[in-house]
Structure 1
Amino acid sequence: MATYAIGDVQGCYEPLQRLIQHIRFDPSRDRLWFVGDLVNRGPDSLSVLRYIKKLGNRAVAVLGNHDLFLLAVAEQIATVRPEDTLQAVLAAPDREELLAWLRQQRLLYREGPFAMVHAGLLPQWSIDEAEMLAREVEVSLQGPSYRDTLRALYPSKHLQWSSNLSGPTRLATIIKVLTRLRACSSDGRMESSYNGPPERIPSGYFPWFKITNRKHRDTTIVCGHWAALGLHCKDQLLSIDSGCVWGRELTAVCLEDRKLFQVPCNGMTGQD
């Protein structure tokens, strides 16, 4: 029995299937964890969603920013851009079933010494607090008010976390942290636009996982989202967005022994 965490797929179905074969995934005994951004920018988001949904309880997925963007586009809250590749999902006969399934997925999944999120955690959040905050959002997205939460998320550049926030703004800010965070200040103020390599982060900001006093540092965080960071595995961090949609690699890591598996994604192009 093995548990494999898989980096940002972003609609790259064919590399995903090659990676599944490479790790010799056995659905009768193994499990797959997906760090989010299942869809968009790659060529076959529809097949990716159908495949992971069909895995049932053999797969765990957390939502990424592209997955939430799909939900917002489907509700006409956000607008498709030229680089997006969501049309096949939006036109699919099982569209509503797939979107309803997507809304049921987690923002944070915690098991044993691991916690999986798409992007990262603010330094002032303990893992217990992060789990509770994520649950607030999950309840909203799974309920009748999910459109209000999505409306508060677009645009999100102005959103900054405060425990005093309430309503849809609070939920949208939690989403921003969990699905978009790359850099922040030591007191948890998010840098909202940077997506380049860590050595070029604007002054006063740091990679979220480099802040030494963060309250969740005893938990191993499994995440993706930061393609310019690339594969970055340390004692308490497994950051595994290795840029498949950019034509680099799709990565899986076995959580039991940290063995890495990769397949090339030649021919894939896109944006983070």
Structure 2
Amino acid sequence: MADYAIGDLQGCFTEFKLLLEKVNFNPSKDILYLVGDIVARGPDSLACLRYLKNLGDSVKITLGNHDLHLIATYYLNKQPKKNDLLDSLFSASDFPELISFLQKQPLAIWLESYQTLICHAGLSPHWNIKTALTQANLATKKYQSDDALYYFKNMYGEGPLIWSDELSEVESFRYTVNAFTRMRFLTPNNEMDFIHKDAPHNTPELQPWFKHPNIQRLKNTKIIFGHWASLLGKTDNENIIALDTGCVWGKELTLLELDTGTITTQAAI
């Protein structure tokens, strides 16, 4: 029995299956946690979603920005972007069922036994773990509710860029979604920056969210995230674990065994 976390799939189904074979993943006794961005940009998002859906309770997913965009595109009756390579998914007979499967997934998972937060982009430095989980739960309930269309219509937008208890319901939803699925850098004013995606050493005027003092103080808590491929898995903090290592960009897919800390990788095919 083992618990694994794995980085952004983004449609890289061949590498995904090879990586699971390397660790002898057994869905009858092992659990697989995914940090989001199951779909988009890679060659077989449809196969990734079908495989994960069929794994049942042995898989847990936190949604990424590409996953939420896919669900919103479906709800808003829009066509996918060509470079997302999602045409086969949109034309699949089980597309509605796959959307329903994705929509049931949360923005964050807390593993008490490991004192570990799993999410796509990271933890807002304005929140402690309790607040983050509360906000994630509130936002998740909104995009899973009968009013989901309303929230998907209002999900897009750059602001608010900083957290406040005075935010409106929609603003709070948007900030929460952005923090959990799009955040990388913070400005000197602690606002989220959505423009820059490069490695931190190339953007010295901005601070990675995980370098914020409030995050660095979380000595007994681990955060496992994806989203930021240009980090190449490097955060300089053993408790902040970046699993997106750019498989869809020709690099590799990374898997972490939670109990032992063992890393296993599969090079892009």
TM-score w.r.t. structure 2 length?
0.93
Matched, 1:257 2:260: yes
1:158-214 per-residue CA deviation (whole Å, 9 max, x = no partner) reads 3323221122232121000000000114663101211111112262x2011111233
How far apart are the structure 2 equivalents of 1:21 and 1:209? 32
Distance 1:67 1:33 in 2: 15
Q: 1:209 maps to which residue?
A: 210
- My pick for the range that moved more, 100-109 or 184-193, is 184-193
Q: Which moved more, 1:166-175 or 1:252-261?
A: 166-175
SS in 2 for 1:97: helix
Distance 2:164 2:91 in 1: 39
Residues 203-246 of structure 1: CA deviation (Å, up to 9, x unaligned): 2x201111123365531001000001111263211111000000
More helix by share: 2
Instruction: Show the counterpart of 2:147.
Output: 145
Identity %, equivalent residues: 35
The match for 2:243 among 226, 233, 240 is 240
Alignment length, in residue pairs? 264
Give the letter aligned to residue 34 of structure 2.
Answer: F
**One-letter amino acid of the counterpart of residue 145, structure 1:** D
CA contact (8 A) 1:6 1:35 kept: yes
Q: Would the aligned equivalents of 2:255 and 2:264 in 1 still touch at CA under 8 Å? A: yes
2:48: which partner in 1?
Answer: 48
Q: 1:54 to 1:240 in 2, by over 3 A?
A: same
Correspondence 1:157 to 2:158: yes
How do residues 1-272 of structure 1 correspond to structure 2 at under 5 angstroms? Answer: 1-76=1-76, 80-112=80-112, 113-154=115-156, 156-160=157-161, 161-185=163-187, 188-201=190-203, 203=205, 205-214=206-215, 216=218, 218-232=220-234, 234-266=237-269
Distance 1:132 1:263, change over 3 A: same
Q: Which sections of structure 1, spanning at least 5 residues, go unmatched? A: 267-272
CA RMSD of aligned residues (A): 1.6
Shift in Å, 1:82:
2.8
Evaluate the alpha carbon distance shift between residue 64 and residue 180 of structure 1 in structure 2; reply closer, same or farther with a 3 A threshold.
same
Aligned partner of residue 121 in structure 2, secondary structure? coil
Distance across 1 between alignment mates of 2:210 and 2:265: 23
Q: Which of 209-218 and 194-203 deviates more?
A: 209-218
Alignment TM-score, normalising by the size of structure 1: 0.92
Pick closer, same or farther for the CA change 1:245–1:166 going to 2, 3 Å.
same
Give 5+ residue unaligned stretches, structure 2: none
CA contact (8 A) 1:77 1:150 kept: no
Within 2, Cα distance between the matches of 1:136 and 1:186? Answer: 28
Amino acid at match of 2:41: R
